[in-house]
Amino acid sequence: MKALNEFVRKFEPDHATQPLLHTTYDAFYTFLFQPGTTTKGGVHVRDGMDLKRQMVWVVLALQVLYIFGTWNIGNQHFTALGRYTGLLEGLHLKIVYGLIQIIPIFVVTHVVGLGIEFLYAAKKGHSVEEGFLVSGALIPLIMPPDIPLWILAVSVAFAVILGKEAFGGTGMNIWNIALLSRVFIFFAYPTTISGDEVWVSGIEKVDVGVYASEAYTFVHHGFDWLFAGLGWNTFGLGGQLVADGYTGATPLGIAAKEGWAGVSAVYDQSSIFWGNIPGSIGESSVPLILFGMAFIMFTRIADYRIIVGGLIGFMVGGFMLNAIAPSELTADTPGIFKFMAIHPLRQMIMGSFLFAITFMATDPVSSADTPTGKWIYGFLIAFIGLIIRVLNPAYPEGWMLSILLLNTFAPLIDHYVYQANIKRRAKRTASMAITRDEIITKRGDVDVFTPENDEDYRPVGNVGIY
């Protein structure tokens, strides 16, 4: 390892004459090796886990969602075309199709985001900050599989420049960077991130009864010769979109209008739980999100207080809405009441709540800092987010808005927690203070003064104190 380190050091550019190249070199060098300097003195805590390696743990926890999302992109595409409807049917086609969709999203996100960070680091004359490692891994997972790449690039640039660099860089941002990228698209280009068709890749290019061959490019067909040589199925014409057998609506989109009865008529509960449904690339599989949740909690990368507080807030809000909803639902019952009546556990497995509370709300920079504040922060994110989801017919998902809202108020939450702690400790200190009148001088075995019925009085040496 020492020899490798010395070899890599030979390629280090000059910092003064080539600041951008040096910044790029330093970013990759610190990714490969731990910092060569540590704090000095016996009062400092030294640890091999620097910021970059801490963030890598979160990226590792997301890899299972990338694998699942790649498969699900292809699975939803071919299911809509009526081909390979089984989970493992046409597996090679589903994976290749998913990779062709997700790789450009991943590349554009990192080229734009890291490129901006490299430029700012070179301009400031310091090393590349590691903050985009997690943001860059999260952004592709919260996007539709057919998001236009130029819109994605603009949203990432907006989030990094105005959401982070304008505030001083990594560790100084007020809001979650990944969510800023999504919220920019939501308000600037709403049709690209809402509606039924955006959640299933390639379907907007296919008319009912027409073969989907035009939805494929030379990249897709470039694999046909390989698959044909192996005796496997090829992309070919791609199948036809059947109007009667296809819906690109997410469970939440259906629930907002028809309640759980409408959802169960289209998707079985098992599919919703495992994530075999249309939606953002990495937000749908409950078991894999729970795996990531356990992983980052066990490694203490994420604070359990935010996650558990969010789960409690979600259940409280869910049961409150259940109590408001009518006891009997009919065909004439407004959709909002049908949505209210859905059991909180069913609400929890629909949509992106578990993903948001696990990977978005726990961002250590934009979340609350105090232990008590983390409980409050997580609780309010879930409670407010569920209210937005159910009561806002124009936006049947509320975690993006609730997290950004609580990001804004996190310092205020911590402020009041600090003030409450100060007042409590001041009161406790005042109650324990020994005043002049409370010191009772003892002479021998006889007290000069002994308060009657005072259990707090006790002799200490020759002095009696309360």
At residue 442, the pLDDT reads 46
Task: Check if the beta carbon of residue 140 is closer than 8 Å to that of residue 59.
Answer: no
Least confident of 20-34, 106-120, 213-227, 288-302: 20-34
Is pLDDT of 461 > 50? no
C-alpha 74/C-alpha 91 separation (Å) is 9
Indicate the pTM of the whole model: 0.83
pLDDT tens sequence across 58-113: 899 999 999 999 999 999 988 888 888 888 899 999 999 999 999 999 999 999 99
pLDDT tens sequence across 242-282: 655 567 788 998 998 899 999 999 999 999 999 999 999 99
Task: State the pLDDT confidence band at 121, using cuts at 50, 70 and 90.
Answer: confident
